[in-house]
Amino acid sequence: MSLQFSARVDHRDVDIAFEVATGETLAVLGPNGSGKSTALAITAGLLIPDRGKIVLDGRVLTDAGPATSRVAVAPHARRTALLGQEPLLFPHLSALENVAFGPRSHGTRRSEARRIAQRWLDEVGVGDLAARRPSQLSGGQAQRVAVARALAADPGLLLLDEPMAALDIAVLPALRHTLRRVLADRTVVLVTHDPLDALLLADRVVVLEAGRVIESGISGEVLKRPRSTFVARLAGLNLLDGTWRGDHVETSRGDRITGMVDGDAPASGTPVVAAFRPSSVSVFREPVHGSPRNSFQVRISELEPHADLLRVRAGDLAADVTLVAAADLELETGQRVTFSVKATEVAIYLL
């Protein structure tokens, strides 16, 4: 189902418009107060804008036009599902009954609703926890049940409001893999502050600031070449696309990168991305060699003060060095240097 969103909320000074194609995941990025949650609330029917129209697969959900033609479909009748940071499971129901609630509320028979619920619990990897109450689940398990509950309701549009923000970092990779699988071919709007969520889960990105869209485009392109200060700060990652070649990444420009694979090792020839932070990159005037380091021969394109460090940019790559180190290296724009990063600092993700 496709989504057309256009809305203005005067008292919040929010005026946003965007579209989501059928089967596409759109990531919405922006600082606090930029209008991200407002956009989700309007789409879900929890907030009526002063002006605007929300259309899902040709059906008008909200039309804040003249009083004689206004439309405001009730939240439960929109075929949307909203999942936030907290699972908000019914504490008195088992995981199975929590997930079965959606189908039951649409009139599905109890036995069929339970069958659907068990299928979705299995799909998100917690099928063996069907009988447990929410108090018996870990945070990651509860959020997986919440994902299953949202999907079991068969929404035409799934709205995700930072669904992994409250989780321990140790459980994020597994849940991210689950979401990549279950969100495939679904129409999704994902609000997130994590650049990896935007890169790995979303097809496109919309960036909001002060209630306006300031940047949009394909996820990888926006994160690698941000035009806004916010996205540049948010991304803070070196991202290099390439192909997995058995034990390393081979980029289109011929770089060979070794690192730590997120999850199971991909098949040779699989598209992947290597990610590492500028703070993990060392800068040398001369080439360096030796495993387990990755080295890149680059030309400095920009020197940018970054808090108490200097960010050294070289095309798509960046390194953070201290001001003392920058002075010792006598760094200047146009200079050829070597960027080096340990393999243990490089994370490799499937695209």
What is the DSSP track for 265-326?
PPPTT-EEEEEE-GGG-EEESS----TTEEEEEEE--EEEEETTEEEEEETTEEEEEEHHHH
Q: Average pLDDT for residues 114-138, to the nearest whole number?
A: 94
Across residues 30-57, what is the average pLDDT?
Answer: 94
| Residue 256 predicted with pLDDT over 80 | yes
Q: How far out from the chain centre does Cα 196 lie?
A: 6
Among 114-128, 216-230, 286-300, top mean pLDDT goes to 114-128
Q: What is the pLDDT at residue 168? A: 74
Question: Is the alpha carbon torsion for 279, 284, 287, 291 positive or negative?
Answer: negative
Per-residue pLDDT reduced to its tens digit, 27-39: 999 888 999 999 9
Give, as one character, the DSSP assignment of residue 343.
G
Please give the average per-residue pLDDT across 207-223, as a whole number.
Answer: 90
Return the sign of the alpha-carbon dihedral for residues 215, 216, 217, 218.
Answer: positive
Burial classification of residue 282, based on how many CB atoms lie within 10 Å of its CB (0-12 exposed, 13-18 middle, 19 or more buried): middle
Sign of the dihedral defined by the CA atoms of residues 77, 80, 86, 89, in that order: positive
Q: Which DSSP state fits 207?
A: E
Q: Is the pLDDT of residue 42 over 90?
A: yes
Q: Helix, strand, or coil here: 331?
A: coil
Distances in Å between the alpha carbon of 1 and those of 48, 102, 220?
22, 19, 24
| Paired tokens of 136 | 């018996």
Tell me: pLDDT of 233 over 90.
no
Q: Output the pTM of the full model.
A: 0.78
Mean pLDDT of the chain: 90
Q: Which of 12, 31, 19 is nearest to 191 (CA)?
A: 31
Quick one: what percent of the chain has pLDDT higher than 90? Answer: 64
| Dist. CA 66–CA 241, nearest whole Å | 49
Q: Is the pLDDT of residue 175 over 90?
A: no
Q: Does residue 68 register a pLDDT over 70?
A: no
pLDDT, position 131: 97
- Whether 336 has a pLDDT exceeding 80, the answer reads yes
- Helical ranges in the chain per DSSP H: 36-44, 95-105, 110-123, 139-152, 172-182, 195-201, 219-224, 229-235, 323-329
**pLDDT reading at 57 higher than 90:** yes
List pLDDT tens digits, range 187-206.
999 999 888 888 889 999 99
Is the pLDDT score of 254 beyond 90? Answer: no
pLDDT at 237: 81
Domains and CATH numbers, the chain: 3-235 (3.40.50.300), 238-350 (2.40.50.100)
CB burial of 18-30 (b: ≥16 within 10 Å; e: otherwise) equals: bebeeebbbbbbb
Helix (H) or strand (E) holding 256: strand 256-257
